[in-house]
């Protein structure tokens, strides 16, 4: 009798089973989708409202716009200088290129994770044992990516529509949705590129590399065309140049959506054709069937972790180095811009605690160093959680390796990487300061700048604690605190918040040298809290069961 009941359960059709893969894939990408949609709309709102609050009169706005337009070097990350005397024009100039680039990266990471990543892990193989083919499974995941894109677009559009009701911004509802569509267009292209690269590459890591390289090159071409008049034709060759040509709010030229549509259709069609021709786990660019054994650093989990994360950590090192160096190198140019606005000058002085405006802007590099170090810590803890979720940790614990040693070594590796990245970025800033004739002490910049690791240490301790008691929420908890800290600092530089609210920001716990003297007492307090949280987490980790995905 029990056997008959089991047979009925096994043969019973699951309701709405045809869409289960689409729903599951969308649910996997939902968190990042909501975050990006809100962040994109919020960034425009923040920049537009801050401009309106900083420049009250037409004369001040016109002078500020002239100063910005006379500094083409700002076009590396900013947009075309159009209608900069208006709050709406400034927020597009300041935010659109950056958010478009971030959107393309977000889409690439999500699509390669859901496509080649799940295929590499063997998760799709379970679905292919039923009525799903590899081609149909890929189409259903691609539908989920379309839902993710639509969700982010709607969230961004709703925020911009609400922003359009502000008299300081003064844009129409149709222009708000046009701006949202322009912002999300590179993300749609990123999804299609991720789909294509997932067919070309044999692993998710290679698919990411194949997609990241052209996206970064295309953004660099756009930046070159934006700052050099004789090379403006380069912008016609890159999607990020097409975003500028759309002239969202300042012109709304719809025809520049056509290249996006053509490239997306070509990438998607080619990808779906390839997936019909290949087998599961196969790829267009095949791996070498033989390889020379490289056994270095494989004597324990620490060496293996170092090998597996080396290129990722090098990427974070170069990113931190590049961002901090860019901010430091623009100190002279940006000072001439900020000097025209007492509000911006006050905001810079508040952030860096320096009366010297040029030194205050130079010290802002520390803000971005600390922010990126926090992201490095969060991504490292997320990788640590993934190793447990995918069952990799089980392979170590069956040997003579304890949980305590494993967690200590992994967090210690992250702490070492964070310290090395911080030291390298501070050294680069000090060298750039010398080229700009800034009187900066080597000790203050290099060693004083090590106080930037305090938020990362606290985040590592907090992350270890969350990982020990609720591992599935590790990534959410860490990135939520990072985003909250960033928003508090950005809005707090324009709006006066209570001191108790400002203290919840991790970025409030650093001293931006050389504009300010490193507060080592606060450094010790923050790191001690992080250490205490880590110890509690370490003890709790030894008591709980391992949790898979």
271-283 pLDDT, tens per residue? Answer: 999 998 888 778 8
- Half-sphere exposure at residue 22, Cβ-oriented, CA atoms within 13 angstroms: 13
Please tell me the distance from the alpha carbon of residue 268 to that of residue 263, in angstroms, as a whole number.
8
Shortest CA distance to 131 belongs to which of 25, 20, 8? 20
pLDDT value of position 2: 46
Q: Is a pLDDT exceeding 90 seen at residue 270?
A: yes
Residues 6+ away with beta carbon under 8 Å from 114: 25, 28, 29, 141, 144, 145
Task: Give the number of residues written for the chain.
Answer: 549
Can you read off the two tokens belonging to residue 46? 């923040």
- Half-sphere exposure at residue 540, Cβ-oriented, CA atoms within 13 angstroms: 17
Burial 440-453 (b: 16+ CB within 10 A, else e): beeebbbebbbbbb
**Average of per-residue pLDDT values in the chain:** 82
- Greatest distance between any 2 Cα atoms in the chain: 88
Average pLDDT value for residue range 344-367: 62
189-202 pLDDT, tens digit per residue, is 999 999 999 999 88
Please tell me the distance from the alpha carbon of residue 123 to that of residue 134, in angstroms, as a whole number.
12
Task: Match 């609720």 to its residue by tokens.
Answer: 470
Q: Is a pLDDT exceeding 70 seen at residue 346?
A: no
Burial 7-27 (b: 16+ CB within 10 A, else e): eeeeeeeeeeeeeebbebbbe
Residue 506 to residues 121, 379, 392, 414, 490, Cα–Cα distance (Å)? 35, 16, 32, 18, 13
The answer to whether the CB of 513 falls within 8 A of the CB of 448 is yes
pLDDT value of position 238: 92
Average pLDDT value for residue range 406-412: 91
pLDDT value of position 176: 92
% residues pLDDT > 70 (the chain): 84
Please tell me the distance from the alpha carbon of residue 87 to that of residue 71, in angstroms, as a whole number.
19
Please tell me the distance from the alpha carbon of residue 281 to that of residue 266, in angstroms, as a whole number.
23
pLDDT value of position 353: 54
8-25 pLDDT, tens digit per residue, is 444 445 455 567 888 888
**Residue 290 vs residue 125, higher pLDDT:** 125
Q: Is a pLDDT exceeding 50 seen at residue 1?
A: no
Model confidence at 373, pLDDT cuts 50, 70, 90, reads very high
Can you read off the two tokens belonging to residue 333? 């140019």
pLDDT value of position 491: 62
Residues 6+ away with beta carbon under 8 Å from 404: 538, 541, 542
pLDDT value of position 197: 93
Can you read off the two tokens belonging to residue 254? 């719809």
Q: Is a pLDDT exceeding 60 seen at residue 4?
A: no
pLDDT value of position 7: 45
Average pLDDT value for residue range 100-128: 85
Q: Is a pLDDT exceeding 90 seen at residue 88?
A: no
Q: 77 in helix, strand or coil?
A: coil
The answer to whether the CB of 422 falls within 8 A of the CB of 452 is yes
Please tell me the distance from the alpha carbon of residue 398 to that of residue 34, in angstroms, as a whole number.
39
Shortest CA distance to 460 belongs to which of 403, 410, 510, 502? 410
Q: What angle do CA 103, 109, 112 make, to 5 degrees?
A: 130
Task: Match 């998607």 to its residue by tokens.
Answer: 268
Q: How many helices and strands (H and E) does the chain possess?
A: 22, 0
pLDDT value of position 545: 85
Phi, psi (deg, nearest 5) at residue 529: -65, -40
Please tell me the distance from the alpha carbon of residue 381 to that of residue 541, in angstroms, as a whole number.
14
| Burial of 176: CB neighbours in 10 Å, binned 0-12, 13-18, 19+ | buried
Please tell me the distance from the alpha carbon of residue 239 to that of residue 262, in angstroms, as a whole number.
11
Average pLDDT value for residue range 329-347: 56
> Between the ranges 53-57, 142-146, 330-334, 473-477, where is the mean pLDDT highest?
142-146
Measured between its terminal Cα atoms, the distance across the chain in Å is 34
Average pLDDT value for residue range 118-144: 80
**Residue 486 vs residue 528, higher pLDDT:** 528
Can you read off the two tokens belonging to residue 486? 């960033």
Phi, psi (deg, nearest 5) at residue 283: -155, 160
Cα–chain-centroid distance for residue 242? Answer: 22
Determine which helix (DSSP H) or strand (DSSP E) holds 149, and give its type and residue range. helix 134-164
**Residue 522 vs residue 304, higher pLDDT:** 522
Residues 6+ away with beta carbon under 8 Å from 532: 461
Q: How many CB atoms lie within 10 A of CB 75?
A: 22
pLDDT value of position 220: 82
Task: Match 């810590």 to its residue by tokens.
Answer: 377
Q: How many CB atoms lie within 10 A of CB 389?
A: 15
Cα–chain-centroid distance for residue 473? Answer: 18
Please tell me the distance from the alpha carbon of residue 364 to that of residue 371, in angstroms, as a whole number.
11
The answer to whether the CB of 451 falls within 8 A of the CB of 520 is yes
The answer to whether the CB of 404 falls within 8 A of the CB of 539 is no
């Amino acid at each position: 009798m029990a056997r008959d009941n089991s047979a009925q359960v096994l043969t019973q059709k699951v309701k709405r089973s045809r869409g289960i893969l689409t729903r599951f894939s969308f649910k996997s990408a939902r968190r990042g989708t909501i975050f990006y949609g809100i962040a994109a709309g919020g960034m425009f709102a923040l920049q537009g409202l801050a401009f309106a609050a900083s420049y009250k009169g037409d004369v001040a706005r016109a002078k500020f716009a002239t100063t910005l337009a006379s500094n083409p070097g700002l076009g590396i990350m900013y947009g075309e200088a159009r209608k900069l005397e208006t709050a709406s024009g400034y927020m597009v100039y300041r935010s659109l290129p950056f958010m478009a680039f971030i959107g393309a990266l977000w889409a690439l990471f999500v699509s390669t994770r859901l496509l080649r990543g799940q295929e590499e892990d063997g998760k799709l193989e379970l679905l292919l044992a039923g009525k799903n083919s590899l081609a149909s499974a890929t189409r259903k995941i691609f539908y989920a990516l379309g839902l993710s894109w639509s969700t982010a677009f709607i969230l961004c559009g709703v925020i911009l529509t609400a922003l359009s009701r502000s008299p300081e911004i003064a844009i129409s509802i149709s222009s708000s949705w046009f701006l949202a569509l322009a912002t999300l267009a590179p993300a749609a292209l990123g999804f299609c590129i991720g789909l294509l690269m997932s067919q070309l590459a044999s692993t998710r890591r290679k698919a990411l590399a194949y997609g990241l390289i052209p996206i970064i090159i295309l953004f660099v071409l756009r930046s070159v065309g934006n700052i050099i008049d004789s090379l403006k034709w380069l912008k016609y060759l890159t999607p990020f140049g097409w975003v500028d040509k759309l002239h969202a709010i300042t012109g709304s030229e719809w025809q520049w959506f056509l290249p996006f549509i053509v490239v997306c259709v070509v990438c998607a069609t080619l990808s779906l054709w390839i997936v019909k021709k290949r087998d599961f786990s196969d790829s267009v660019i095949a791996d070498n069937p033989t390889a020379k054994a490289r056994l270095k650093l494989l004597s324990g989990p620490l060496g293996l972790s170092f090998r597996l994360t080396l290129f990722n950590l090098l990427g974070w090192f170069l990113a931190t180095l590049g961002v901090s160096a860019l901010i430091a190198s623009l100190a002279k140019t940006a000072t001439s811009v900020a000097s025209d606005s007492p509000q911006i000058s006050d905001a810079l002085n508040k952030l860096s605690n320096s009366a010297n405006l040029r030194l205050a802007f130079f010290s802002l590099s520390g803000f971005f160093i600390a922010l990126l170090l926090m992201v490095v810590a969060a991504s490292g803890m997320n990788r640590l959680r993934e190793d447990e979720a995918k069952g990799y940790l089980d392979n170590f614990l069956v040997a003579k390796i304890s949980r305590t040693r494993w967690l200590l070594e992994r967090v210690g590796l992250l702490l070492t990487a964070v310290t090395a990245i911080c030291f390298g970025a501070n050294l680069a800033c000090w060298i750039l300061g010398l080229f700009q004739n800034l009187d900066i002490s080597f000790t203050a910049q290099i060693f004083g700048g090590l106080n930037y690791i305090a938020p990362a240490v606290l985040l590592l301790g907090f992350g270890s604690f969350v990982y020990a008691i609720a591992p599935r929420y590790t990534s959410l908890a860490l990135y939520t605190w990072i985003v909250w800290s960033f928003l508090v600092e950005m809005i707090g530089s324009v709006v006066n918040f209570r001191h108790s609210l400002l203290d919840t920001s991790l970025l409030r716990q650093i001293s931006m040298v050389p504009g300010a003297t490193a507060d080592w007492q606060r450094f010790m307090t923050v790191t001690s809290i992080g250490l205490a949280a880590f110890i509690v987490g370490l003890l709790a980790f030894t008591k709980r069961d391992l949790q898979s995905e």
